[in-house]
Amino acid sequence: MCVISGYKHIERLIGRYIAATYASAVEVGSGCNLTAAEVIFLANIPILCTDIRLLPCTSPVRYVVDSIWNPDLSLYRNAECIYAIRPTEEMMASLIAVAQRVNSDLLVYHLGFERFGNGNEEIIDCGVPLIRYVRHRNERE
Kindly give, in sequence order, each residue whose CB lies less than 8 Å from that of residue 44, ignoring residues fewer than 6 positions away: none
The confidence score (pLDDT) of residue 36 equals 96
pLDDT band with cut points at 50, 70 and 90 for residue 68: very high
Q: pLDDT tens for residues 88-97?
A: 889 999 999 9
Instruction: Write the DSSP assignment of 65-98 as a string of letters.
Output: E--TTS--GGGTTT-SEEEEES--HHHHHHHHHH
Q: Which residues contact 27 (CB under 8 A, 6 or more apart)?
A: 34, 36, 37, 47, 48, 49, 50, 82, 83, 84, 85
Query: In this structure, is residue 134 part of a structural domain?
Result: no
Residue 43's domain comprises: 22-129
Residue 12 is assigned to a structural domain of this protein: no
Would 89 be classed as within a structural domain?
Answer: yes
Residue 138 lies in a domain: no
In a domain, 111, yes or no: yes
Q: Which residue has better confidence, 47 or 135?
A: 47
Whichever domain contains 108, its CATH number is: 3.40.50.150
Any domain includes 61 = yes
Check pLDDT > 50 for residue 3.
no
| Number of structural domains the chain divides into | 1
